[in-house]
Structures are given as structure tokens and as C-alpha cells.
Amino acid sequence: MEQPTGSPVRVCQFSPDSTCLVSGAADGTVVLWNAQSYKLYRCGSVKDGSLVACAFSPNGNLFVTGSSCGDLTVWDDKMRCLHSEKAHDLGITCCDFSSQPVSDGERGLQFFRLASCGQDCQIKIWVVSFTHIFGFELKYKSTLSGHCAPVLACAFSHNGQMLVSGSVDKSVIVYDTNTESVLHTLTQHTRYVTSCAFAPNTLLLATGSMDKTVNIWQFDLETPCQARSTEDQAKQFTEDWSEDDVSVWLCAQGLSDLVGIFKMNNIDGRELLNLTKESLADDLKIESLGLRSKVLRKIEELRTKVKTLSSGIPDEFLCPITRELMKDPVIASDGYSYEKEAMENWISKKKRTSPMTNLVLPSVVLTPNRTLKMAISRWLETHQK
């Protein structure tokens, strides 16, 4: 099955009954395939941008596509475009339908919740319905707050009671879909959170990150944990850690074998941040070179978080290479933004791979990111005042 226009496919999705398949391409074309005969059924396209997101409604009557230009487009099962509107200014990144319907109350109709996420750091909730009697309706409901950087992933729980999101700010946020309040803010990932998924039949959540890990979370709905306060989150990455806090951190990093050594030497948060290669070998007597290197890497990641939080600089304003505030941001062919000089130096050293993904860069052309540069300028003006 080849995309008719020959453009690279960016997203695909089966219908709930598995009879149809939608594929969206980089040139904005949308194809509805017959998943049983493997033949093209209908073809359409969006006005601008690449297609980067797609989701079927639970009843299969319609599907939604999202573009890199921020347009949310709704199609019926005959590929007729029912509605299109600008949902996210800087581009859509993902979307998902809740599998559980919501009752109208007035006309006895059933609606479905739709979540869309974007480069504008927002998660928007929509209510969607489509019946042959009343026709199609798409209503904007609300915007969920919490992330301070582009939101890369979202997913509804199987029962529709929770929505999870992952962001460039390295955090995972779990929302109650009824009250739209934050239930949990998870900050264990050390790089961008790129994916998240709820298990269908158990209270498990998986989150994937550019830090090369997948974290599994177990929910206890009897004692829902509210989000940590700003002070609690700040304390998590400061020198205020107790020895017990350090022990918890070691276990979270897969270094539980070192808990006894660290406790024996009374290593608290301040001491942890000051550890060096020499002190790990000479004072703590950690003989394994590989283990010392792993500990140092984890401590360096922690120092970076401390520096970022203490400066208050939004993470998306920092160059992934230098971890400093960008002055002249550019977009590379991997889709990420970097400080121009840092990326030019990276490429000049014959590194044709992406600093973020380690994949080969399709092109070494760097495009000025004027939107990000203006956002940084506005942030600087505000904080200088």
C-alpha cells in the first residue's frame, strides 16, 4: 500500500472495527484504505502542513487529523471533510479520543471527548458528536494547564476517567477528566517525554522518554495523590534532600546497591551534588569504573535540573547541546531547535547525526526559529522588569 502522492507517511490509524485504515503524509494527504482488500478507498488533503496526528472516534463514524500548522480536521467515514479549525497556533503534536461516551442530558445524545496537544504547550479538550439526525458537532470545552513546554503525547485511560500527557518539560501529568484537576505530576524522566499509554485492563501507565527509558506506574485510585506544590517540586531538585531522599533517588536510578554505602557516609543532597570521580573512588570506595561513571552521569543530570529550576528558565528555551539560554535558535532537519553556533559546531565536527535522536540528519540546513526567538525575547523582557 503506497501513499498515492509518494510522500513519506507520518501517521496511521485503524478504525475501531479494523475495517478501515487511515494514513497521513508529510505533504498533507489523507488516505482512507480498505483494510480487508488493502485497496485505496478515498483520498483527501489538508490545506497546509504535514499530518502528524490521527484518531478515530470510538464508534468509527468519523476520524480527526492534526497538522503541523495547527489545524484540527474532522472527516466522516466517507472521507468528507466535516470541519476544520486552527486548534494550536504552533502546530498539533497528537490527539486522542476517550473510549467512553459522555451524555448530553438535554437531547439524550452521546458525545465523545477529544484531546489535542500542541507545540503551544496546551492540551485542549473538545466534545464531538455525529448523528444522522442532528448532524456533526465539534465544541471546544476547555484548556488544561500544567506544562511549560510543547506537549508531545497524550492518552485517555480505558475507562475515560483520566488523561495523561507528556512534554518537552520532561514531566508527565495525569488529569481527572471529570473535574479537569491534576491528579499526579511525575518528574522522574530526565529528557523529553515522547509517549504515554494506559493499560486496557489494569491500573498501569507507561511513559517513554528521550532519556532512553520506559517508566511503568501503578495507580491506587483509593488514595489519589494530588499534584505536588511548587515548593515540593523545587525541593525535589535542591540541596535540601535528606539522606533518606538520596536513598529514594538512588533506587529510582537503578542504583539501590549503593544505598548502604551512601548512608554509611551520610550523603545528603548537598553532599550528593558535590561528589566527584575522585570522591566516589577514594572516599566511598566504589571500585567499579562503570558504576562510578553511571553515578556521575546521574549526578550531572541532577545538577542540570537544579540549574534549570534555580534559574527559572523554561526548558524549551535552553539549547539541548549547551543547556544554555538560546540567543539565535535554529531548527535542524530533526525538528528540534538548537543554538545556531552550537549546532554549526556540532555539524562541523562531521557529526551528521541528531544530538537528540542519534539518527542521521536528512539535511544540514538550519532554519531560523523566529517564533522561539520572539518568545525568548518576551520572557527576558518580563524577567528583566
Q: What is the pLDDT of residues 65-108, one digit of tens each?
A: 999 989 999 998 888 898 899 999 888 999 999 988 876 555 55
The percent of residues above 70 in pLDDT, for the chain, comes to 88
**Mean pLDDT (the chain, rounded):** 85
Residue 32: what pLDDT?
94
Question: Each residue of 104-128: b (16+ CB within 10 Å) or e?
Answer: eeeeebebbbbbbbbbbbbbbbbbb
Q: What is the pLDDT of residues 125-140, one digit of tens each?
A: 998 876 656 667 888 9
User: Is residue 237 pLDDT above 70, yes or no?
Assistant: no
Residue 300: what pLDDT?
84
**Gap between the Cα atoms of 142 and 165, Å rounded:** 15
Q: Give me the sign of the Cα torsion angle 308, 309, 315, 317.
A: negative
Which residue type is seen at 152?
L
User: Is residue 299 pLDDT above 90, yes or no?
Assistant: no
| CA–CA–CA angle 367, 150, 309 (5° rounding) | 105
What torsion do the CA atoms of 343, 347, 352, 354 make, to the nearest 10 degrees?
-10
User: Is residue 254 pLDDT above 90, yes or no?
Assistant: no
User: Is residue 350 pLDDT above 70, yes or no?
Assistant: no
**Gap between the Cα atoms of 272 and 243, Å rounded:** 9
Q: What is the pLDDT of residues 137-185, one digit of tens each?
A: 888 999 998 888 899 999 999 888 899 999 998 999 999 988 888 888 8
User: Is residue 280 pLDDT above 70, yes or no?
Assistant: yes
234 pLDDT band (50/70/90 cuts)? very low
| CA–CA–CA angle 229, 173, 306 (5° rounding) | 55
305 pLDDT band (50/70/90 cuts)? low
Q: Which three cell numbers stand for residue 156?
A: 485517555
230 pLDDT band (50/70/90 cuts)? very low
Q: Highest mean pLDDT range out of 143-147, 193-197, 270-274, 277-281?
A: 193-197
Least confident of 29-43, 272-286, 369-383: 369-383
More confident residue, 273 or 224: 273
Cβ neighbors of 155 (< 8 A, separation 6 or more) are: 96, 163, 164, 196, 197, 198
| Mean pLDDT of the region 250-266 | 87
| Mean pLDDT of the region 346-363 | 82
DSSP H or E segment with residue 263 = helix 259-264
Phi and psi torsions of 78, nearest 5°: -105, 10
